[in-house]
Structure 1
């Protein structure tokens, strides 16, 4: 997914431009740090105190130049208007967050307001159109059958969460003034890989296959996750 995000940024901004990036629900800060290392000015917003502590420790171990380019704010994604002015960012990331939000519309509207004109909104969501794939591949036919008519599922952490359908999100993005410009599938073939599984010897080929499938119909439509990119009008 990092390659997809970099592609969208490169296609929208001049090479070398230092962008203002907001990472909402940054978790342990992996993506935020990667972008700060690339020269961008990054703000990470996270409400989980444990994740904030992990991110701050990771940032403290970076060179001074990177530490100056990144700041961490403890807070909820719904409260971006409290922390930041409208139009303050060129890129807003919201990766792996919407599945924990009952009604994502208000959250997404707030994130769109944070974008400068032409700014990029990057979403990573669970694919509600393919919830039957994982239990089906595991041979859990009862769960697979039940997954066709719901947006609810239980994630690998054992939490009951929700998925989003691309058609609905496309309508939402248009309504909030950041219409969909591109979308990709993520984890087309690797969704059943165990957490912490060893990196295979042919990892580069595997990544190439996933990258190709994530851009190609019909494969991307059955990916476990969707990466959607909207642009502020």
Structure 2
């Protein structure tokens, strides 16, 4: 669900191929491989050797033309400036999807991304939406958990910190507000071109629920998610938010 929605949303903003893309925290390479299929020159950076291996296995099944357009490097968002093979290079698009919730402070992370994008290029970030943290559990009828998360959001606002939550893998993570991330985009000379909600209503099902067997049903769910994700006020209910900023003229971000 997430990957398909991000793919559709990203396509609205990307320069047509051939263009260059840096995918930071690429995971198993779903977006990176699809972009290479579409004709983009892609560099994927991923710190987890198991995820790089999964990406490599999937890439090996692709035609040689696709394999030639994708490089997979060992590195992370935190060490981006020191990743061998990236020295001083900038790209038409810089992606960082599903990573910010694992870093302590999103501001230096966004600055690292901003140093890698061309003027008039885009920075695409998918982060956890602090404004909708409780909605998943409300949909599932777990009102105790929803209440605890609402309390956490209120407490974090009072304490002037980002709210925390435990994801469905049992890992403690951090959520972001749209307003704060938007301000950080300004710090890297990127105007917020648009933002989308992701999983506005489909998180009511458990994580182990199988994909609908009927292709028409799945297509209807994806189409409705896509439309709600770009429409006010429904996009604000998305578990995740997808921000796309475009780099303007002027000096680069402060190092």
TM-score (normalised: structure 1): 0.93
RMSD: 1.4
Contact 1:87 1:117 in 2 (8 A): no
Instruction: Report the alpha carbon displacement of residue 138 of structure 1 after superposing the two structures with TM.
Output: 2.0
Aligned to 2:212: 199
1:78 counterpart SS class: coil
- CA distance in 1 between counterparts of 2:48 and 2:204 reads 27
TM-score (normalised: structure 2): 0.85
- CA distance in 2 between counterparts of 1:107 and 1:117 reads 19
The question of 1:179 aligning with 2:184 is answered: no
- CA distance in 2 between counterparts of 1:55 and 1:95 reads 16
- CA distance in 2 between counterparts of 1:133 and 1:80 reads 34
Picking from 188, 213, 218, the partner of 2:200 is: 188
Instruction: Report the alpha carbon displacement of residue 86 of structure 1 after superposing the two structures with TM.
Output: 4.1
Aligned to 1:44: 44
Contact 2:132 2:239 in 1 (8 A): yes
Per-residue CA deviations over 1:107-137 (Å, capped at 9, x if unaligned) read 1101111001011101111111111111222
Q: Please show how residues 17-166 of structure 1 align to structure 2 within 5 Å.
A: 17-83=17-83, 84-86=86-88, 88-148=90-150, 149-150=152-153, 151-166=163-178
Instruction: Report the alpha carbon displacement of residue 200 of structure 1 after superposing the two structures with TM.
Output: 4.8
User: Structure 2: which 5+ runs fail to align?
Assistant: 1-5, 154-162, 249-255
Contact 2:133 2:239 in 1 (8 A): yes
Instruction: Report the alpha carbon displacement of residue 198 of structure 1 after superposing the two structures with TM.
Output: 2.7
Aligned to 1:3: 8
2:66 counterpart SS class: helix
1:179 counterpart SS class: strand
Contact 2:200 2:238 in 1 (8 A): yes
Contact 1:26 1:44 in 2 (8 A): yes
Per-residue CA deviations over 1:32-60 (Å, capped at 9, x if unaligned) read 00000001000100001110111111112
User: Structure 1: which 5+ runs fail to align?
Assistant: none
Instruction: Report the alpha carbon displacement of residue 203 of structure 1 after superposing the two structures with TM.
Output: 1.5
Structure 1 ranges of 4+ moved more than 6 A: none
Instruction: Report the alpha carbon displacement of residue 146 of structure 1 after superposing the two structures with TM.
Output: 2.2
Per-residue CA deviations over 1:6-39 (Å, capped at 9, x if unaligned) read 0111xxx3x4x31110000000000000000001
2:125 counterpart SS class: strand
- CA distance in 2 between counterparts of 1:76 and 1:198 reads 31
- CA distance in 1 between counterparts of 2:145 and 2:168 reads 15
